[in-house]
């Protein structure tokens, strides 16, 4: 049975997206070879990637391009090669290779995927999916990269959560340029 993970970057003030969906803050101007190696290892995991429509469209507009392959060939290969699932009520089709479009009940579809898959699934971005599935108790692990920046305004990945989520810290890793990986699991 597969597990469901979330992997997102967040700011010190708790946002995973800035105003109008801005993500430029998550990409450092200075090179961090240690963090880049970590990202490349994750990209090669072979798991299933899960997106909402907005994140899917953002990712599909970049990772299949020659520029992505030139800038980051390992991550591009993982993003393009891995199986992908996009949840959307408005998309008519998903054109990025290896992508399945699902329009059914989110929780029911994820429950079915977890039962049927041997591979783990990872939600990237997709705050509305995170908040809905968190409330359903379906997320097995939250992986957050804390980026040392404060935005003052933005959107959390937990917008809309109605009840308290209790989490326990399971692992941390500090990177040399200031990013910190935080891993949490739900408290039973």
Q: What is the DSSP track for 46-109?
A: --EEEEEHHHHHHHHHHTTSHHHHHH-HHHHHHHHHS-EEEE-SS-S---STTEEEE-S-HHHH
pLDDT at position 181, please?
95
3-state secondary structure of 130: helix
Q: CA 51 to CA 84: how far, in whole Å? A: 8
Q: CA 188 to CA 146: how far, in whole Å? A: 24
The CB density around residue 50, as the number of other CB atoms within 10 Å, is: 29
Q: Which residues lie closer than 8 Å to 81 by C-beta, 6 or more apart?
A: 98
Average pLDDT over all residues of the chain: 92
DSSP 131-160: HHHHHTT---EEEEEEES---SS-B-TTTT
Instruction: With CA atoms as reference, report the closest residue to 138 among 178, 162, 108, 163.
Output: 108
pLDDT at position 141, please?
96
pLDDT, tens digit (0-9, with 9 covering 90-100), for 12-51: 999 999 998 888 898 766 778 888 888 877 766 778 999 9
pLDDT at position 28, please?
67
**Quick one: average pLDDT of 149-165?**
93
pLDDT, tens digit (0-9, with 9 covering 90-100), for 68-100: 999 889 889 999 999 999 999 999 999 999 999
Q: Which domains does the chain have, with CATH numbers?
A: 4-20+49-59+84-186 (3.40.430.10)
**Quick one: average pLDDT of 131-141?**
95
- Mark 60-78 as b/e (b = at least 16 C-beta within 10 Å): beebeeeebeeebeebbbb
With a pLDDT cut of 70, the percent of the chain lying above it is 98
Q: Which residues lie closer than 8 Å to 8 by C-beta, 6 or more apart?
A: 16, 123, 124, 125, 130, 143, 144, 145, 157
């Amino acid at each position: 049975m597969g597990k469901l993970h979330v992997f997102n970057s967040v700011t010190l003030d708790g946002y995973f997206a800035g105003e109008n969906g801005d993500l430029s803050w998550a990409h450092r101007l200075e090179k961090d070879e240690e963090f880049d190696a970590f990202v490349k290892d994750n990209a090669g995991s072979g798991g299933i990637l899960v997106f909402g429509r907005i994140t899917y469209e953002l990712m599909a507009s970049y990772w299949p391009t020659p520029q992505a392959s030139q800038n980051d060939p390992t991550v591009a290969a993982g993003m393009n090669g891995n199986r992908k699932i996009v949840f959307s009520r408005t998309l008519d089709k998903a054109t990025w290779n290896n992508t399945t479009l699902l329009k059914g009940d989110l929780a029911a579809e994820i429950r079915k995927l977890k039962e049927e898959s041997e591979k783990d699934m990872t939600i990237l971005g997709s705050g509305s999916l995170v908040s809905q599935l968190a409330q359903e108790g379906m997320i097995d692990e939250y992986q957050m990269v804390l980026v040392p920046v404060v935005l003052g305004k933005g959107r959390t990945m937990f917008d809309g959560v109605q009840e308290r989520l209790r989490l326990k810290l399971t692992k941390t890793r500090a990177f040399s340029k200031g990013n910190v990986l935080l891993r949490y699991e739900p408290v039973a």
